[in-house]
Amino acid sequence: AQSVTQLGSHVSVSEGALVLLRCNYSSSVPPYLFWYVQYPNQGLQLLLKYTSAATLVKGINGFEAEFKKSETSFHLTKPSAHMSDAAEYFCAVSRNTGTASKLTFGTGTRLQVTL
Amino acid sequence: ETGVTQSPTHLIKTRGQQVTLRCSSQSGHNTVSWYQQALGQGPQFIFQYYREEENGRGNFPPRFSGLQFPNYSSELNVNALELDDSALYLCASTSANDNEQFFGPGTRLTVL
């Protein structure tokens, strides 16, 4: 079985500050890991993914995440927050099978960016 | 290239009714997955279709059923609607040899 835990349902940062959204996973097999962003009343957009290549993954909009097997973590970071980053962020895990398999999502972290 | 589309955008039903939601996969994708996202929660996997066959199912009762058509579009059917079925229903498509799923905008279902 696979699961994802996102620590902190709400995170608030000032514009220009570092963004850190935490994700820990549990998987009995090598995982694929994903971060998705969801803006209000919209579907999910992929920010980045880890698929057993480089452990530091760079995504869109300046986000990156580092896969740490020893800590079973895949935290999402961005050096400088922008107002447009305010959204809901979901970490997800799937089985490393090379083909599409079901995504197991965390409960999400709502990022608020203040002036 | 056309992305994943879903219809309708919003839907209101009453308890006990049946509903059909539709999804058109992205061009070149032959695998479709459906997810239910309740308010304030992460999406939950319902099932996946590959080449018109169910290819994995989450912890949802049999009144949740699906279809995939030869053009790889898909339907999600829910019978005997319950209040707890109120949610955003997301469709995602991918090619069979890819691990990235592309999501549609979702259908917001409200059950009264």
| pLDDT digits 0-9 by tens, B23-63 | 999 888 889 999 999 998 999 999 999 889 998 899 999 99
pLDDT in tens, A57-115: 999 999 999 999 999 999 999 999 999 999 999 999 988 665 567 899 999 999 999 99
Q: How far is A71 from chain B (nearest CA, A)?
A: 23
Whole-Å CA distances, B78 to A104, B13, B23, B31, B65: 22, 11, 14, 20, 6
Q: Is the pLDDT of residue B98 over 80?
A: no
Mutation pick from B4, B49, B99 vs chain A, by most beta carbons of A within 10 Å, is: B99
From its phi and psi, is residue B20 left (phi > 0), alpha (psi between -120 and 50) or beta? beta
CA-based nearest distance A77→chain B, Å? 20
Q: For B83, phi and psi rounded to 5 degrees?
A: -60, -35
CB contact under 8 A, B58 and A101: no
pLDDT at residue A29, as a whole number: 83
Q: Which residue has the higher pLDDT, B3 or B109?
A: B109
Smallest Cβ–Cβ distance between A99 and the set B42, B96, B105 belongs to B96
Q: Which residue of B has its CA nearest to A38?
A: B105
Name every chain B residue with its beta carbon within 8 A of the beta carbon of A98: 97, 99
